[in-house]
Amino acid sequence: MIAAKENFPTFTPEEYFAWEEQQLEKHELIDGRVHLRGQVDAMTGGSKNHSLLAARLITLCSVHLEGSRCDTATSDLPINLLESNDYTYPDVSVTCDDRDQTTTQYIRYPCLIVEVLSPSTEAYDRGEKFRRYRQNPALIDYLLVSSTSIVVDLYHKNDAGDWLILNYQPGDVIELKSINLSFPIESLYRGLNLTETPPMSP
């Protein structure tokens, strides 16, 4: 589970957004308490590959959806988990729901959510975070992208409402039915150094 700083008070959504605007880092709001985004067990995720993969996915989606009623969002836009006062920051999200046109600080009805995995966040992204996300009937595709190897996992909700897991590896074409977009997996990973390097000492 994401670790919260013990000295943080509990917040209402209104208090959370007012407080968040003053912070240098992004925080999620879960059960009234704020949590540093990407922090799990006191370890922070994120890397150059993480940033490049997120940027490429944002570009693929936004170019494909240009002129449509869908919006592609970066990790700066939180999602309000449906029927709760919880807010999370996925790496990429797409909404095609008219109800999200009336909000200014968050969206509620994404059809696609993308998380770029880091060693410190993978268990949370696959487990508790997905459990919360999939309670939203608008969500169709949940894409998990490895930042250390050419591996992509897609959780796709079919017409019967069942979640299927599709695993993509080199040579595969990723299909996002939520936004009718297909692309080769190599288009994400071109030129990336997938060799893990230890973090620099402070």
**Structural domain for 154, as ranges:** 41-189
- Report pLDDT for 199: 46
Parallel/antiparallel/unpaired status of strands 141-146 and 71-73: unpaired
First to last CA, the chain: 26
| Cα separation values, 39 from 113, 123, 171, Å | 19, 12, 33
Does some domain include residue 21?
A: no
Residues facing residue 174 across a β-bridge: 183
Does some domain include residue 122?
A: yes
Amino acid at 119: P
Q: What is the pLDDT of residues 153-183, one digit of tens each?
A: 999 999 999 999 999 999 999 999 999 999 9
Helices (H), the chain: 13-20, 48-64, 122-126, 128-133, 186-189
Does some domain include residue 23?
A: no
Does some domain include residue 106?
A: yes
Does some domain include residue 138?
A: yes
Residues in the chain: 202
Long-range CB pairs of 127-135 (<8 Å, 24+ gap) are 128/1, 129/88, 130/155, 132/81, 132/86, 132/88, 133/79, 133/81, 134/163, 135/81, 135/82, 135/83
- Report pLDDT for 26: 63
- Each residue's pLDDT, cut to its tens digit, for the chain (202 residues) gives 333 444 566 766 666 666 666 665 666 656 666 655 654 333 334 588 999 999 999 999 999 999 999 999 998 899 998 888 888 889 999 999 999 999 988 999 999 999 999 887 888 889 988 998 999 999 999 999 999 999 999 999 999 999 999 999 999 999 999 999 999 999 999 999 987 554 444 4
Is residue 145 within 8 Å of 188, Cβ to Cβ? yes
Does some domain include residue 26?
A: no
Structure tokens at 25: 């880092």
Does some domain include residue 101?
A: yes
The CATH number of the domain holding residue 173 is: 3.90.1570.10
CB neighbours (10 Å) of residue 156? 17
Number of domains within the chain: 1
Q: Say how far apart CA 13 and CA 79 lie, in whole Å.
A: 12
Does some domain include residue 31?
A: no
